């Protein structure tokens, strides 16, 4: 169980790009990073509006002279200080991720970046090489993948409790974009513009969460081919999609289905995962995050509760609140930030042996998410045709 005891040599000096007062994800990053005392927020370029960003940063407790107008100024001035930040989180629109990440790495700073990481696999592979050359970590934030019941599912699959996996069924939908975009906020505008969002809308914005979580639960399975059918029900969002279905064939013969939508009217937003094996099935949803449904063929269905001693050690080791209290998104983010901090600490100490076995969402996780998106777009653009996964 995680209880806040320090697991790294010292807190990491941390800065943020984006995540300001009007941002949607900044508080999630700060909730995760500051939970265990593994990061200290010392600097930021929080907002395109420099004055608003400075006012916001000082109210977070950041010194006024370390609230910068641009990420370029942050990188230049912080790397010139002996006590400058050593890791930067990037909580900005998709089209900025690549240039900011490169600038930070070239200056010797570790990076934690929002998803989808970049627009292309080529960009991901270039940055992976740069990070390796510089001896730096790139982490990626996939929100619920730090939840203990996700790791319970992974442990059950690994230990054969479900048998051979046959069916993968995943859904992440909400209805908040069911209407047109007249009067929409900036967060909607940049997500539905190919120049700022990249080649996808909901596939990249929420679909990559599903895909990465499935990789955690099913690391032994790889996609061989897929078919993606996507549509913009609000025509002004085309050529991007606000709804998509992806069918997947895996190398072990399993079949997968993934549904993402932001026009699921009336749905307040939920993720659902069901993994079906030859012996049993498990199902988990963030709408009931404390419960995991375990169904063994021919036996009564069971509801497993987080934090209970009958769970696998892999789940109990990353639990925070104990069985009596709800374990939610903030706790998952805290785990993700903790695991990335442990990776950065190990890299700083030169402990490559630790890094070989340590789990955290890194550059490879980000790359595989972009690879999946590229294949989805290739299929959709070919008329929703089956394509070999490349």
pLDDT at site 111? 98
What is the mean predicted confidence (pLDDT) over 206-226? 98
Residue 52 CA, chain-centre distance (Å), reads 27
Taking the C-alpha atoms of residue 14 and residue 21, their distance in angstroms, rounded to an integer, is 18
pLDDT band at 273 (very low <50, low <70, confident <90, very high): very high
Contacts 24+ apart (CB under 8 A), 52-59: 52/20, 52/21, 52/22, 53/20, 53/21, 56/20, 56/21, 57/20
Q: Which residues of 139-153 are buried (b: 16+ CB within 10 A; e: fewer)?
A: bbbbbbbbbbbbbbb
What is the mean predicted confidence (pLDDT) over 348-372? 97
The CATH classification number of 147-321+369-388 equals: 3.30.360.10
Q: Where are the domains of the chain?
A: 12-144+335-362, 147-321+369-388
pLDDT at site 1? 95
Taking the C-alpha atoms of residue 237 and residue 255, their distance in angstroms, rounded to an integer, is 30
- Percent of the chain whose predicted confidence (pLDDT) is above 90: 98
What is the mean predicted confidence (pLDDT) over 142-161? 97
pLDDT at site 232? 98
Q: What's the pLDDT tens digit per position in 316-345?
A: 999 999 999 999 999 999 999 999 999 999
Q: Which fold has domain 12-144+335-362?
A: Rossmann fold (3.40.50)
Task: Confirm if 86 and 39 have CB atoms less than 8 A apart.
Answer: no
Classify strands 39-45 and 87-91 as parallel, antiparallel or unpaired. Answer: unpaired
CA angle 99, 105, 107 (to 5 degrees): 105
pLDDT band at 58 (very low <50, low <70, confident <90, very high): very high
Q: What's the pLDDT tens digit per position in 98-116?
A: 999 999 999 999 999 999 9
Taking the C-alpha atoms of residue 192 and residue 181, their distance in angstroms, rounded to an integer, is 9
């Amino acid at each position: 169980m995680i209880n806040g005891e320090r697991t790294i040599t010292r807190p990491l000096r941390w800065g943020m790009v984006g995540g300001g007062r009007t941002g949607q994800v900044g508080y999630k990053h700060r909730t995760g990073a500051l939970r265990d005392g593994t990061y200290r927020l010392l600097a930021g370029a929080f907002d395109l509006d420099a004055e608003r960003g400075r006012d916001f940063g000082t109210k977070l407790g950041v010194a006024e002279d370390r609230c910068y107008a641009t990420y370029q100024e942050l990188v230049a001035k912080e790397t010139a200080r002996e006590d400058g930040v050593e890791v930067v989180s990037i909580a900005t629109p998709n089209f900025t991720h690549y240039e900011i990440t490169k600038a930070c790495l070239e200056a010797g700073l570790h990076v934690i970046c929002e998803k989808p990481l970049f627009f292309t696999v080529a960009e991901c592979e270039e940055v992976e090489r740069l990070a390796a050359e510089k001896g730096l970590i790139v982490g990626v934030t996939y929100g619920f993948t730090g939840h203990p019941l996700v790791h319970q599912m992974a442990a059950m699959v690994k230990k054969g409790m479900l048998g051979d996996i046959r069916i993968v069924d995943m859904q992440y939908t909400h209805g908040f974009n069911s209407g047109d975009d007249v009067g929409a906020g900036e967060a909607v505008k940049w997500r539905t513009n190919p120049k700022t969002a990249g080649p996808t809308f909901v596939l990249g914005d929420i679909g990559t969460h599903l895909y990465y979580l499935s990789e955690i639960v099913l690391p032994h399975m790889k996609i061989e081919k897929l078919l993606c059918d996507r549509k913009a029900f609000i025509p002004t969002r085309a050529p991007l999609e606000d709804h998509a279905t992806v069918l997947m064939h895996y190398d072990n013969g399993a079949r997968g289905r993934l549904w993402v939508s932001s026009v699921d009217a009336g749905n307040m937003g939920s993720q659902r995962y069901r993994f079906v094996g030859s012996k049993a099935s498990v199902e988990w949803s963030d709408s009931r995050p404390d419960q995991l449904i375990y169904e063994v063929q021919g036996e009564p269905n069971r509801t497993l509760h987080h934090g209970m001693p009958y769970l696998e050690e892999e789940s109990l080791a990353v639990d925070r609140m104990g069985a009596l209290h709800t374990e939610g998104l903030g706790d998952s983010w805290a785990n993700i930030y903790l695991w990335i901090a442990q990776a950065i600490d190990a890299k700083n100490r030169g402990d490559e042996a630790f890094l070989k076995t340590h789990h955290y969402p890194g550059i490879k996780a980000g790359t595989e998410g972009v690879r999946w998106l590229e294949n989805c777009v290739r299929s959709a653009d070919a008329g929703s045709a089956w394509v070999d996964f490349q």
